[in-house]
Structure 1
C-alpha cells in the first residue's frame, strides 16, 4: 500500500463521509450521522468505486466509512483508495466477507476497523466513537534520523557504477528497511530502471522541463515504485533531445527527497561534477567506483582531488568493481599507492551472476546472495552505513527530517505506524 493512513493529523475538512451499497446501511448511517451532529447528506450511495472517484477530486474527511460489499479484490481496492485519500483520515470499512485473515490484512494496510454486514446501530456508533477518539488523539512523535544522501560516481565508463548504485539502493530499502530514493541522472542512457525491469517513465524529464512543478505531490506521482520502500526517478530521453538545465531541478529533487525519504542514492555521471558541482553540496557519502587499470587510477586521483576541494564534507569510499580473479592490470597494492589511499571494497567479477541479474531484471546484490559477490555487496553496505553514521556523529549531516512528513515518507512498516488495536472481533473469529 503506497500511503497508509496516519491518524492524528487534522486540517479544515469535513468530519465524516460515507459510501455504502445498500439501502439499509444508507438509512442507518444517515440516522447515526445526524445523532453525532454530522451532515446526513455526506452519506452517499456507490461503495468503494464511488469513494475513489469522489475523493480524487475532493478533500478527504476526518473519518471515512466505505462499503466494500461490491469489491472483488478488497486489498487492491484499498490501495486505490490510499492513492486519493489524504494522510490523517481514519477509515472504517464494511463488508460481507467473514474472514479473519482479510480483517488482519485490512488493518495492516491502514484500516481502523472492519464491520461485518449486517451490523447494528450500536456497533456502528461504537466504531465511529473509536474513530473519533483515534483522530483526536495526539500523534506520537516519529523518531528523528538524519537523511543520508549517497552519490555513486564511476571513474570510467563501464566500471559498473550504475550496478553499484542500484545494489546499494536495493540493500538500503530491503535489508535495512529504510525508505530510499534512487535518482539516475543519466537522462539519456541511464540503466537504473532497466536493471530492475521497470519502465523509467517521464518523471525526471518532466522535472527538468518544469522545475516549478517539483513538490511533494510531484515526487509521489512521478517516481516509479520498485517496492514499498524503494522508488526510482529516471529517464530515457530521446537522444535527439538535449536536456537544457542549470541543475536547479536536480537540486530541488534532492531537497524533496530529504523530506520524503530516509536515504537517497544518486547515480551521478562524472561529467555532472563539471556541469553541476552544487549537487555534491549536501552529499554525506560518495562512492568512487573504479577498476584496477592505469586509466582508472589516473581518473580516480583526479576525482578524489576534486571531491577534497569541492565537497570536503562528504565521506569518500573507493570501490574497485568487477575485479577479475586473475592478475588485474594493476595490483591492488600498486593501485592504492597510486591513489595514496586504500581501496575500501573489492567486488569480484562473476560473469554468471552478472548475466543472471540482467536476465532476471534484478540488482546484482539481490542475485548474488550466498556468493563472493554477495559478501562484497554486504561489506559495501556496512561501509556506507558506517560512513553515514560517523558523518552524523560529526554533525555534518544536514536537513534531518521526521519520518512520515510526506506520503512517500510513510512507506515501510505499516503496523508500526498504526495505533494499538483491540483484539479481533469475536464475530470474525467464529
Structure 2
C-alpha cells in the first residue's frame, strides 16, 4: 500500500506473504508461490486478523495476498491493514463478494487487485505477475522539487507560533497536496498533536533516547498520521524527566524528512537557537512570529540579528499574529521602524475562530476558511512558498551581511515610541 512519504529504498523484504481462509486457496497458493521461486511456508492460514497481527511485529513483504472472506467490514479492515503495512507493499485481495462498488472502493483504497473466489491457478499467476511488475516498476515521482524546510519561531511565549506552524503544515499538505512532516521540538509541552486532536506517541522521545534507530523505517512507524499527506512527530515527555541530547537526533530526523517528504515544518522554540543552532543550517524559510508589543519588538530585534549572522541562507518572514482591531501597544509603523524591516503578514485576532479550532481539534487555517484569519493564513502560505523559491534561486551565491546598529540603541528607541505607557508609570 502506498503512503505519500514512502522512502526511496524498499529495504530487505520478503518477496511474498499470503494469509488465506480455506484449504483450497492455501494449497493453490503454495503451489504457485513455489513456481515463482517464493517460499511456500510464507502462505499462512488465517485471513485479515492474522495478517494485521503478524505484520504489526514483522516487516511487510513486497507482495501481500490477503483473503477477506471472513471480513465483516472490508474497507475498515483494509484501513487497519494499511496502519501496519509498510509503504510500497503491493496488496492483492480475494473474497466471495461479487460487487463492483466494493471492487472500486478497494482499488481506491490502494489495493492492486481483487480476485473473486474460487479463483484458478492461471488467474492467480497473472495477478501475482502483474503485482511483481508493479513493485519493481520505476516510480513516477512527478516533477522534481527541492525539499523545503521551514522553521517557525515565536519571539515570545503565547504569540501563537505553534498555531501557525500547524496551520502552515496543514495548508502545505491539504491545499498544495505536498507530503509534509511537522516536527514539534517542544518536547515537554508541545501542542501540535493536541491541536489536531491526535495522541503524540513516543516517536520523538524514542528518537532522542536512541538516535541510532533513526532511519526511513523508524520515520514510517514513529510518526503520527494526521492525513494522507501530513505526518507529525511530537512528544509529551514527563516534566520530571529531562531529556539530554546534543541535538544529533534532531539533525538526523531532518535528514530523513528530506528523503521521505517534500516539505518539513519545524515548530522551533526560541531557546533551541541557543542550545542547538545547527538546526538552522538547512532551513530554507524562517517564519518569525511576533506580536505588536514592546517585549516582542525587543526579542524580534535579537532573533532577527541572530538569524542574519547564524542562518544567512534562510529567507526570513516576520508575521504579526493575533493583532487586535483596536490600537496595539506599538503601531505597525513604529514596530517596523524599530526592527528595520517590514512585517510581511498580519494575522488579525479572532477569538471565535480560535475557540472553534480548539473545540473541533482542527488547525486555525482549516477552521478559519472564508474569514479574514483564513485569508491571512493563505497569504502566509504564499509568502513561504515564494520565499522558498527565492532561496532556491539564490542558492550558491555569496551572501554578505553588515552589522546593524547596536541592539541597546534600537531598544532605547523603542521606549520612546510608547509615551502613554511611560506617562502612566510616572503618574502612578
2:212 aligned partner: 212
Q: Contact between 1:9 and 1:87, CA under 8 Å: does it hold in 2?
A: no
- On the 8 A contact 2:152/2:287 being kept in 1, the answer is yes
Taking the TM superposition and a 5 Å limit, the aligned residue runs for 1:271-350 are 271-350=271-350
TM-score by length of 2: 0.85
Match of 1:385 in 2: 385
The size of the alignment, in residue pairs, is: 396
Offset at residue 123 of structure 1 (A): 2.7
Matched, 1:395 2:395: yes
Structure-2 separation of matches of 1:357 and 1:335: 29
1:339, distance to aligned residue in structure 2 (A): 0.9
Q: Structure 1 266/31 Cα, relative in aligned 2: closer, same or farther at 3 Å?
A: closer
SS in 2 for 1:370: coil
- Between the aligned partners of 1:197 and 1:32, the Cα distance in structure 2 is 46
Q: Is residue 196–residue 363 contact of structure 1 (8 Å, CA) maintained in 2?
A: yes
**1:237: which partner in 2?**
237
Q: 1:313 to 1:320 in 2, by over 3 A?
A: same
Equivalent residue number for residue 404 of structure 2 = none
The separation in 1 between residues aligned to 2:367 and 2:255, in whole angstroms, is 32
TM superposition shift of 1:135: 4.0
Superposition deviation, residue 64 in structure 1: 3.0
Tell me if structure 2 keeps the 8 A contact 1:290–1:319.
Answer: yes
Q: Which moved more, 1:120-129 or 1:153-162?
A: 120-129
Moved more, 341-350 or 292-301: 292-301
Q: What is the match of residue 409 of structure 2?
A: none
Cα pair 1:26 1:44 within 8 Å, conserved: yes
Give the RMSD, CA atoms, in angstroms.
Answer: 2.6
Name the residue aligned to 1:370.
370
| 1:66 paired residue number | 66
Find the aligned partners of 1:340 and 1:128 in 2 and give their Cα distance: 65
Structure 1 residues 77 and 396 mapped into 2: Cα distance closer, same or farther (>3 Å)? Answer: farther
| More divergent stretch after superposition (365-374 vs 109-118) | 109-118
- Distance in 2 (alpha carbons) for counterparts of 1:99 and 1:206: 45
Shift of 1:176: 0.9
Instruction: State how far apart, in whole Å, the 2-side matches of 1:338 and 1:10 are.
Output: 53
2:168 aligned with 1:145: no
Higher relative contact order (CA 8 A, sep 6+): 1
Counterpart in 2 of 1:164?
Answer: 164
Deviation (angstroms), 1:116:
1.2
1:306, distance to aligned residue in structure 2 (A):
0.7
Which residue of 2 is the match for residue 414 of structure 1? none
Give me the TM-score of the superposition, normalised by structure 1.
0.84
Give the 3 Å change call, closer, same or farther, for CA 245–60 of structure 1 in structure 2: closer
Listed one character per residue, the Cα deviations across residues 191-244 of structure 1 (whole Å, up to 9, x for unaligned) are 112211222222222222222222222222222221121111122222222222
Deviation readout 1:135-171 (Å, 9 max, x if unpaired):
4544445542211111111111111111111111111
User: Which consecutive unaligned segments of at least 5 residues does structure 1 have?
Assistant: 398-430
Once the two structures are TM-superposed, the CA of residue 95 in structure 1 deviates from its matched residue by: 0.4
CA-to-aligned-CA distance 1:2-47 (integer Å, 9 cap, x gap): 73899x9877655544322122323333444455555544433222
State how far apart, in whole Å, the 2-side matches of 1:317 and 1:300 are.
Answer: 11
* In 2: Cα distance, 1:197 partner to 1:89 partner: 29
1:286–1:315: 8 Å Cα contact kept in structure 2?
yes
Choose 186-195 or 47-56, whichever is displaced more: 47-56
- The 3 A distance-change label for structure 1 pair 118 and 170 is same
1:354 aligns with 2:354: yes
Distance in 2 between residues matched to 1:191 and 1:141, nearest whole Å: 33
Alignment of 1:265-276 (within 5 A): 265-276=265-276
Cα drift, residue 71 of structure 1:
1.4
- Secondary structure in structure 1 of the residue aligned to 2:77: helix
Q: Distance in 2 between matches of 1:192 and 1:222?
A: 15
Say if 1:5 and 1:110, in contact at 8 Å, map to a contact too. no
